């Protein structure tokens, strides 16, 4: 999924984080640098202030000493020496030469801070250099007058201004160095505070815009998906890692929505299939009424309810008179039509609370809850009118028929358990048959006479002979319903099962197997893929290879097939054939890993027919292949997958079968299909 996402140009998340954090780092560095500078500056300012004050004192001393010397010196030599000393001091002050000193303040230039003062005195020193010589000249000239009281008045205006300027500069410089650190630090601190607030606000909004909001949207989407809101998407318009993560999440969410919808559809289909299976297990395929199995269950429930609550309960046994004659005269298809129409008319004539079931063959049984003999006769009369009032007619044939009914009730003292209701109604029905049929007999009206009634004995014999056939037919009707359910989910599997049964039936005939064994193998072939009802349709219809997990699911279908028919007494011999039809002759099959003749004969025959039909039929992912390809595969797998003694006889039997037909009618699905043929 992630490979399908193209990386769009844009700033990455790390780039955005760097852009957000960089101003903070710069501000932090500036703050630390400023603090370090001011710490150093403050450390240096203390001696500098002291130095400024000392320098002022020294210059003042020079001022007065120079004046005194000019007044006191008498010789030209002394004046020249003083001149050179002052000049040297001024130049030393300008150049920051700590090695020089003057007599007025020895060693003063070596104190810390003098050099720093030079930064602010540069312009004054140049001014001194320009006016130093005229000053000294005036001082020299003043000494010739010898008038101490008026010595300063003899100085020129420039000389006096220079002396005052020196003094003022010293004072201002000292004050500047004393005040500068605190004022400057406060201003810078205020600027840093404002910058910190601005950068903090910008960082908050940038973080919210590029990181916090997308993450919040993603978390909200994830929480909604976890609550079952499939297909939830988030809108993250950035092109960084968060944007790509959001796009991946959206794709995953949409795919998850599709998957969940598919699962929901499969769930509904499975529920519908289970519903059909449940209905088919309790409904008679031909008449649409409940079957004998369901009747046995509901009879016990209704009997217990009626006994516990002391409510009436009646049971009606109904038999179609002369039904064998109808089959012999009009044929079994018309007989099936009559039974189907009987089921419809019975449903329309009964109340909602009444329960009608097909007991077997042309016999029906009806449970009438909360109904005594009198109420039962009213219901039965309406039912008899519905059955006998109109002819049974299809597009070809038509006939009228009559029915005989026997009724039992909890009112009978002989009823001690639920089976007594059936027995008494059956005896009443036989009594009605012995009277010629077309009547309704109550259990209380049954004749009690010694000896054996030949007509009754013959009726019992007939019913015993046909009862097992009728029961098996009822179960096979359920099998047809199961195949219909399989066809609704997977048409291929349903048709495949019927064709495999056709091929297996023909091959067992060639092998001259007993009719009962042939019937068992045929039934097993019809039912061997019923377990596919539990396999997801997406796997059954998948184009291409299956994953290991999907293969495991498919391999469970024999167990599922056996589970569906388990408990049906008439199909117990089919179970082992269905369960082991994927075993291999060499022992590498499943589910039991059986080898050689340990595999049931029916399963070995079914494996051949199953493989042949699978190869020669079309699948969603490939076309049908000719019989020659199937025969080649069977020969190659002889002794490995298939019984080597059966391969060649099966190929011969299939060639004979294909030479006679290219189409097969499937009665279970009521359709005709074409089969692969080369002859």
Output the domain CATH number for residue 658: 1.10.3210.10
CB 435 within 8 A of CB 422: no
Residues 513 and 391 in one domain: no
Residues 91 and 199 in one domain: yes
Residues 439 and 483 in one domain: no
What integer pLDDT is reported at residue 620 of this predicted model? 67
What integer pLDDT is reported at residue 467 of this predicted model? 57
What integer pLDDT is reported at residue 24 of this predicted model? 67
For 193, 507, 605, 638, 644, the CA distances from 608, given in Å and listed in that order, are: 90, 10, 5, 10, 11
What integer pLDDT is reported at residue 281 of this predicted model? 74
pLDDT tens-place string over residues 430-487: 989 888 889 999 998 875 444 444 454 455 545 544 555 556 566 666 666 666 666 6
What integer pLDDT is reported at residue 247 of this predicted model? 73
Residues 523 and 433 in one domain: no
CA distance 73 to 58: 21
Residues 439 and 504 in one domain: no
Q: Is residue 271, in this structure, part of any structural domain at all?
A: no
Residues 403 and 494 in one domain: no
Residues 407 and 514 in one domain: no
CA distance 363 to 295: 13
CB 540 within 8 A of CB 490: yes
Low-confidence ranges of the chain (pLDDT < 70): 1-24, 27, 33-192, 199-200, 202-213, 231, 236-243, 277, 447-491, 533-534, 537-538, 540-544, 567-569, 620-621, 677-679
Residue with tokens 């259990």: 443
Q: How many domains does the chain have?
A: 3
CA distance 35 to 267: 72
Residues 22 and 142 in one domain: yes
Residue with tokens 């020496």: 81
Residues 419 and 486 in one domain: no
Residues 434 and 478 in one domain: no
What integer pLDDT is reported at residue 301 of this predicted model? 93
Q: Give the total residue count for the chain.
A: 679
- 3-state secondary structure at position 232: coil
Q: Is residue 439, in this structure, part of any structural domain at all?
A: yes
Q: Is residue 91, in this structure, part of any structural domain at all?
A: yes
As a three-state string, the secondary structure of 619-648 is: ECCECCCCHHHHHHHHHHCECCCECHHHHH
CB 471 within 8 A of CB 266: no
414 is catalytic: no
Output the domain CATH number for residue 400: 3.30.70.270
Q: Is residue 32, in this structure, part of any structural domain at all?
A: yes
Q: Is residue 36, in this structure, part of any structural domain at all?
A: yes
Q: Is the pTM of this model over 0.85?
A: no
- Strand runs (DSSP E) across 201-344, as ranges? 313-320
What integer pLDDT is reported at residue 123 of this predicted model? 39
Of the listed 302, 362, 431, 575, which one is catalytic?
362
What integer pLDDT is reported at residue 312 of this predicted model? 95
What integer pLDDT is reported at residue 521 of this predicted model? 94
CB 528 within 8 A of CB 486: no
Residues 316 and 413 in one domain: yes
Of 460, 518, 503, nearest to 616 (Cα)? 503
Residue with tokens 């007494």: 569
Structural domain containing residue 314? 286-445
Q: Is residue 548, in this structure, part of any structural domain at all?
A: yes
Of 635, 643, 563, nearest to 598 (Cα)? 643
CB 56 within 8 A of CB 239: no
Q: What φ, ψ does residue 355 adopt, rounded to 5°?
A: -125, 115
Burial of 442 (0-12, 13-18, 19+ CB in 10 A): buried
């Amino acid at each position: 999924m992630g490979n399908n996402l193209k990386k769009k140009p844009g700033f990455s998340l790390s780039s955005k984080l760097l852009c957000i954090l960089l101003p903070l780092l710069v501000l932090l560095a500036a703050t630390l640098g400023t603090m370090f500078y001011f710490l150093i500056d403050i450390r240096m300012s203390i001696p500098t202030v002291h130095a400024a004050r000392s320098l002022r004192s020294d210059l003042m001393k020079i001022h007065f000493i120079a004046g005194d010397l000019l007044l006191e010196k008498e010789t030209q030599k002394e004046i020249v020496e003083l001149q050179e000393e002052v000049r040297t001091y001024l130049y030393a002050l300008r150049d920051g030469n700590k090695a020089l000193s003057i007599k007025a303040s020895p060693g003063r230039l070596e104190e810390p801070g003098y050099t720093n003062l030079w930064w602010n005195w540069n312009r004054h020193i140049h001014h001194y250099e320009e006016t130093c010589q005229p000053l000294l000249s005036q001082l020299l000239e003043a000494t010739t007058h010898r008038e101490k009281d008026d010595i300063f008045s003899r100085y020129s205006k420039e000389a006096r201004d220079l002396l005052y300027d020196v003094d003022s500069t010293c004072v201002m410089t000292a004050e500047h160095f004393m005040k500068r650190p605190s004022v400057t630090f406060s201003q810078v601190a205020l600027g840093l505070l404002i910058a910190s607030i601005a950068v903090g606000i910008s960082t908050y909004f940038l973080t919210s815009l590029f990181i916090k909001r997308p993450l919040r949207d993603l978390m909200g989407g994830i929480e909604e998906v976890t609550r079952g809101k499939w297909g939830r998407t988030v809108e993250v318009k950035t092109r960084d890692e968060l944007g790509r993560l959001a796009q991946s999440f959206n794709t995953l969410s949409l795919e998850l929505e599709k998957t969940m919808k598919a699962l929901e559809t499969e769930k509904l289909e499975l529920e519908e299939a289970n519903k059909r299976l449940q209905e088919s297990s309790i409904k008679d395929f031909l008449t649409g009424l409940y079957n004998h199995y369901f009747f046995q269950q509901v009879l016990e429930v209704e009997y217990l309810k009626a006994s516990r609550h002391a409510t009436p309960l009646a049971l009606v046994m109904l038999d179609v008179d002369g039904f064998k004659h109808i089959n012999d005269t009009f044929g079994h298809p018309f007989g099936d039509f009559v039974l189907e129409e009987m089921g419809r008319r019975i449903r329309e004539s009964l109340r909602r609370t009444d329960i009608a079931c097909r007991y077997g063959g042309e016999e029906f049984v009806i449970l009438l809850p909360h109904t005594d003999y009198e109420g039962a006769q009213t219901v039965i009369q309406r039912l008899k009118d519905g059955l006998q009032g109109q002819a049974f007619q299809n597009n070809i044939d038509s006939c009228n028929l009559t029915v005989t009914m026997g009724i039992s009730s909890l009112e009978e003292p002989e009823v001690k358990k639920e089976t007594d209701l059936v027995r008494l109604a059956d005896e009443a029905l036989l009594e009605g048959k012995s009277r010629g049929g077309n009547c309704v007999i109550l259990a209380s009206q049954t004749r009690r006479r010694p000896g054996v009634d030949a007509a009754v004995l013959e009726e019992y014999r007939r019913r015993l002979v046909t009862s097992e056939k009728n029961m098996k037919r009822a179960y096979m009707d359920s099998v047809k319903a199961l195949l219909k359910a399989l066809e609704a989910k997977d048409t291929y599997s349903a048709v495949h099962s019927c064709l495999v049964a056709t091929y297996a039936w023909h091959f067992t005939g060639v092998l001259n197997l007993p009719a009962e064994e042939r019937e068992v193998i045929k039934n097993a072939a019809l039912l061997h893929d019923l377990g596919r009802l539990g396999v997801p349709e997406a796997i059954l219809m998948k184009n291409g290879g299956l994953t290991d997990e999907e293969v495991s699911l498919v391999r469970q279908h024999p167990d599922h097939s056996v589970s569906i028919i388990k408990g049906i007494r008439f199909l117990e011999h089919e179970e082992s054939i269905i369960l082991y039809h994927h075993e291999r002759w060499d022992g590498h099959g499943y589910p039991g890993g059986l080898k050689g003749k340990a595999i049931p004969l029916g399963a070995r025959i079914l494996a051949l027919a199953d493989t042949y039909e699978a190869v020669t039929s079309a699948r969603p992912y490939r076309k049908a292949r000719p019989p020659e390809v199937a025969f080649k595969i069977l020969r190659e797998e002889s002794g490995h997958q298939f019984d080597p003694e059966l391969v060649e006889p099966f190929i011969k039997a299939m060639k004979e079968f294909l030479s006679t037909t290219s189409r097969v009618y499937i009665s279970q699905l009521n359709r005709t299909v074409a089969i692969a043929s080369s002859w």
